[in-house]
Amino acid sequence: MAVSTVSDDGKFWSGLKTAHAKLPKGAKWKLAVASKDGAKAVNVIDHDSIDAVRDFFEPHTGTYATTEYFEADAANAVGLPR
């Protein structure tokens, strides 16, 4: 999971669209959702490691948000896309 506090939502989401088009082999983007005011975003990306997600995500969004990365607890998740 990538949980972002967004400083420029237009540029952040534009960066995510660019990132989505360059998704690394084997990665699956499961979810991208923002708060109504655009200040927060949650992205769920299935990939080999948190470091791999961070290395992929940051070049596209790092200037426009501060993001924390977590491994999701899929066993206890409700409604997590498979």
In a domain, 23, yes or no: yes
User: Which residues sit opposite 32 in a β-bridge?
Assistant: 43
The CATH number covering residue 34 comes to 3.30.70
In a domain, 77, yes or no: no
In a domain, 81, yes or no: no
In a domain, 80, yes or no: no
In a domain, 68, yes or no: yes
Count of the separate structural domains present in the chain: 1
pLDDT of residue 27: 93
Query: Which parts of the chain register pLDDT below 70?
Result: 80-82
Cβ atoms within 10 A of the Cβ of 65, count?
23
Please report, for residues 8, 46, 76, the alpha-carbon distance to residue 19 in angstroms, rounded to integers and kept in the order given. Answer: 16, 14, 28
pLDDT of residue 82: 64
Please report, for residues 25, 26, 59, 64, 75, the alpha-carbon distance to residue 41 in angstroms, rounded to integers and kept in the order given. Answer: 23, 23, 16, 12, 22
Q: Give the pTM.
A: 0.88
Provide the residue range defining the domain that includes 64.
2-72
